[in-house]
Amino acid sequence: MSDCTAGYKGEFIEFMLAGGVLLFGDFTTKSGRRTPYFVNTGRYRTGAQLARLGRYYAAAAKERFGDDFDVLFGPAYKGIPLVATTSVVLAQGGRDVAWCFDRKEIKDHGEGGGLVGHTLADGDRVLILEDVTTAGTSIRETVPKLRAAADVSLTGLLVSVDRRERGLGDRTALDELADEFDMATHAIVTIDEIIAHLHGREIDGRVAIDDAQRARMESYLAEYGAR
């Protein structure tokens, strides 16, 4: 295992691959870019997978953000299981944090409102958990909802994979979001770490990233990657 993917990072990469979450082929991202690789956390299907996913997010959250958050927020829909499982893992480790998520459509009956779970309060330190951010679109939709609910402090954003692609300008979407919303942004792993870990590595009888696939990925990053 290479140094850049030592510990839980290398395990997480192989976990995504085994679960069919990390895919190679021909895909189109939410931003409209055609890409030779894709990360789809909607393909986690079992309780055991969800439990492991929570452990990886919890490990990264503690490593990157320490205790500087009170609430986990998950943008609908894929962020919902992320905050649920991560909060469970943190509670099992002795840290009970609140969690909430948004609705795609505001409910006008029952308790109403656009957020579910913890009721955000002034001063809450919110850590957003998302699967992948390519252009930053979903986060730009999410932050106004949080700020409309209360005078919260945005601790940061944690995603599964940093695709290292340009956002609106020449820098990565995560770097742009960090400046735009004055919050830290991190990923459990980057696409560079995925390439380094899987290139030429045989897993379950096949090489995950061969020379041809690596060339396609590097060509894509040469076109869309951040400077």
Residue of 62, 109, 118, 199 marked active site: 109
Distance separating alpha carbons of residues 180 and 35, to the nearest angstrom: 26
Longest Cα separation, the chain: 56
Q: For residue 109, indicate whether it is catalytic.
A: yes
Q: For residue 199, indicate whether it is catalytic.
A: no
| End-to-end CA, the chain | 27
Name the token pair of 63: 């490593």
Residue of 107, 118, 145, 199 marked active site: 107
Distance separating alpha carbons of residues 74 and 85, to the nearest angstrom: 11
Alpha-carbon distances, residue 87 vs 55, 64, 70, 82, 170 (angstroms):
10, 16, 11, 8, 35
As annotated, the active-site residues are: 107, 109
